[in-house]
Structure 1
Amino acid sequence: MELHIHRFAILNGGRLPYLWLTTVLHGIVVEIVTYNLDDIDNFWHSQTPVIFLGRRLPLHIIALYPVFIYHASVAVSKLKLPTWAEPFAVGLTVVLLDIPYDIVSVKFLHWTWHDTDPNIGDRHYWVPWNSYYFHSCFAASLTFWFHGWRRWLCSDKLRKWESSSVTMELACTVLSAILGMPGGILLFLPLYHPLHDLAGVHSEVTFFMLFTIFLLISWTGDRTPTPDARPRSGVHTAEKGRSILLLHLAVHYALYLGLVIFCNPEEEVSIGLHERIGPCNQTVPIHTVFGTVLSKRRYLCASDYDEDYFDFHCLPNGQAPSEDSYWYTACGTPFHNRAEYVAIIGTICFLAFVVFRNMHFHSGSSIHQSETKAKRH
């Protein structure tokens, strides 16, 4: 399906292929940095046939960044929001794409989280609230840089999605991919770190504070739409291959809804890299940007952990792996209430249907608009 998004970018040309490339490079930067900084190295993907970086980075994870950010960018661009509002709307839309993926994938052991890291300790169906915070902030940052660098380095006469020279566009692409992560980290500073690290506020609260701010900015920007932000008589879109994006969206949401309806997570077995098992009494410090020091266990305590989406029941006698194991088998666990998962994923799918329908069919064109001549009778 990632190839379908790339095909849409090629069909429409302009800056869209560079947007696709930017999201891929951004994803690679984020993943490389994450695996090499102890304070944020807190998850382990299940093994796949094609995997990189010491068996830490599956190929499909690289493809997910354009799936989320490219989809969101194209859909939001049709709203014709002001420059100051668009990044925040993209961030919200990325979260809408990510929620079913995050909830269902962790339940089906597509990865496992660090058990005691305080930055991911507050969970929503075993998804850290900070995962949603991360997606919204990093997507907003990347969108800001992607369009910002073009405005600053290129001629103002170019339309938003009209490409400049290859050299200039590649420069904007590389700069945006590199700065997307630092910009996203900066967005954690005003709310999350002071409230969570200093005041002990739950991460659910900090996420919904961020959500409220992003939503209000986006809504305010949409309150005074420009004429080309809504469908107009006599104007048609020159966008090619829209059905590709719509099909991809349908498959994306149907996949996760289908998994919670028909599949059984207790049948999942994940053999590969996981949090290293070790003594329960050893901890390591986590240094925050405001100078406070948090802590987490150095190892997974096999006799005292709180990750209800996996256990060791599929191993002989249900015995946990031995200490110092980091390559071992984790076993999926059944739904405590399948109907609840179906209800929440189904509701998200309905919300996504309404949101993307309005963006794609009741807004302007993200690429080109052209006047149509009235028919002569």
Structure 2
Amino acid sequence: MAAKNLTGFGVELREIKYKDNIDWLIQFNNCENLWEAQPTFLISQAVYLLGGFLTLIHALRKGGRWPWLWLATICHGLVVEIICYNLPDVDNFWHSQAPIMLFGNRLPLHIILLYPVFIYQASYTVSKLQLPGWAEPFAVGLTTVLIDLPYDIVAVKFLHWTWHDTDPNIADRHYWVPWNSYYFHATFAASFTFWFHLSYNFFGSKVEKWQSKGFFKELRTVLMTSLLGMPGGVLLFIPLYHPLHDLLGIHSEVTFFMLLTLFLVIAWSGDRTQRDRNPSRVGVFDWMLILYIISHYATYLGFTIWGQPEAEVSMGMHEPIGSCSQIVTQKTAFGTVLRKRKYLCMNDYHEDYFSFSCLGGKKPSNGAIWYTVCGTPFRNRNEYIAVIGTICFLAFVVFYNFYFRNYADNKVKSAKDVKKATKQKLA
């Protein structure tokens, strides 16, 4: 089917009207039309829906606190996404339209499940190292970035979302991915992990790490983690990013690698501490997660090898089009005033991963918030393959060591097992 025959192709909207609150809350789109427009986007969604389901099955099978961790990642994700769409200073990305869209066509359903795919998977694999509590959040943050890397790099090239063109906080890019996107995933996952385990110690007596303390205590932990995970992540931007980037003009790539170094040193130091080595058996449900993470990396490597980004179009909400001269300001944590255009300027924009070529060069008119953008070809496909291939190799080594060369079993112990272990220690 030619792009011009797609339903909604070339349509421009200045505002979106909803019948009622339910209509605003959830929208359904035609899957066949979306497949013709963006097949890689639907494949990516299917992978995340599958991942969300498999991590849930794994959590329920493991028992203890694992189901609560899974639920906390969902709630944390909803808090982060809703705040981003409603806070102008961080409202700087727009997802392509999916079969099921939430919150005024802003949130695709699968994005909610991205959080357990990233954070639950990272938390479970890191738990096998049995790191000290002070090191574990940083290891989870690093692992989350490793899972995110191929997704961020490849998905934006295939128009799974678009970024704000002039926001200074996302201006420094890596294959069109803001360096701060990696910084975000590292700090928010670390903060989430910190609060999930710290809040657990606030409620009730001390028990084995992954044993549940009961419904209401775990529910309070989930709520506390969901609400504090994002503020904690934001606070981690203050020691490095804001003073170095905003005051000294240091590139975001440098601040990210400084953060990466700090996280790596802490996690590695924790891994060097002495503890009993007790390699755990990789069970059936662990293999389920292993096979899934393989499919995750294979999907985005496959896109770089066989995908055709220039054949994909995104019809939906993007950065609003408007005056090139209208500037808005935002104040950073250190008082620096940053400036950005309020609208996407059609005469001066710098987002090479999309164009308007499939529309015959016709650009959206001022005031449009819903319009069509066209994918662009790889400038060097082999470079993308080399980058994603290297990330896949690194992931293989890391996850192999997590699962097959770990220090301790993270199985949830029964009360009987706990009593037995206590008696053995006292003997």
Q: Within the alignment, does 1:361 sit opposite 2:404 as a pair? A: yes
1:51 counterpart SS class: strand
Select which of 90, 101, 104 maps to 2:151: 101
Contact 2:93 / 2:163 at 8 angstroms: preserved in 1? yes
Aligned AA (1:55): N
Is the contact between residue 73 and residue 116 of structure 2 (CA under 8 Å) also seen in structure 1? yes
Secondary structure in structure 1 of the residue aligned to 2:151: helix
Q: Quick one: percent identity of the two aligned structures?
A: 61
2:270 matches 1:270: no
Q: 1 CA distance for matches of 2:63 and 2:312?
A: 41
- Matched AA of 2:308: N
After TM superposition, the structure 1 = structure 2 runs for residues 298-309 of structure 1, keeping only pairs within 5 Å, are 298-309=342-353
Is the CA contact (8 Å cut-off) linking 2:211 and 2:412 kept in structure 1? no
1:1-377 counterparts in 2 under 5 A?
1=50, 2-156=52-206, 158-228=207-277, 230-231=278-279, 236-237=280-281, 241-315=285-359, 317-363=360-406, 364-368=408-412
Deviations 1:267-298 (A, max 9, x none): 11000000011111111001111111110001
Q: Name the SS for the 1:284 alignment partner.
A: strand
Q: Distance in 2 between matches of 1:238 and 1:133?
A: 31
Query: Deviations 1:1-56 (Å, cap 9, x if unpaired)?
Result: 21011000011111000000000000000001111110110000000111111100
Give the aligned residue type for 2:131: L
What CA distance in whole angstroms lies between the structure 2 residues aligned with 1:162 and 1:3? 22
Q: 1:154: how far off?
A: 2.6
Give the distance between the partners of 2:330 and 2:357, measured in 1 at CA: 32
Shift, 1:243, TM fit: 1.1
Q: Could you tell me how far 1:105 is from its partner in structure 2? A: 0.5
- Residue 357 of structure 2 aligns to a residue in which SS? coil
Whole-Å separation in 2 of the counterparts to 1:171 and 1:152? 10
The TM-score normalised by the length of structure 2 is: 0.84
Distance in 2 separating the partners of 1:292 and 1:339: 41
Which ranges of structure 1 fall in alignment gaps of 5 or more residues?
372-377
Matched position secondary structure for 2:119: helix
Does the CA-based 8 Å contact 1:11-1:240 persist in structure 2? Answer: no
The count of residues paired between Structure 1 and Structure 2 equals 364
Q: Compute the displacement of 1:248 (Å).
A: 0.8
Q: Which amino acid aligns with 2:103?
A: L
Work out the CA distance in 2 between the residues paired with 1:87 and 1:195: 23
Q: Secondary structure at the match of 1:318?
A: coil
Q: Provide the rounded CA distance (Å) in 2 between the counterparts of 1:33 and 1:368.
A: 34
Q: Where does the alignment leave 5 or more consecutive residues of structure 2 unmatched?
A: 1-49, 421-427
TM-score, reference length from structure 1: 0.95
Q: Please provide the CA RMSD for this pair.
A: 1.3
Check conservation: 1:239, 1:367, Cα contact below 8 A: no
Distance, in Å, in 1 between the alignment partners of 2:89 and 2:253 is 20
Q: In the aligned structure 1, how far is the partner of 2:71 from the partner of 2:87?
A: 25
Tell me which amino acid in the other structure corresponds to 2:388: I
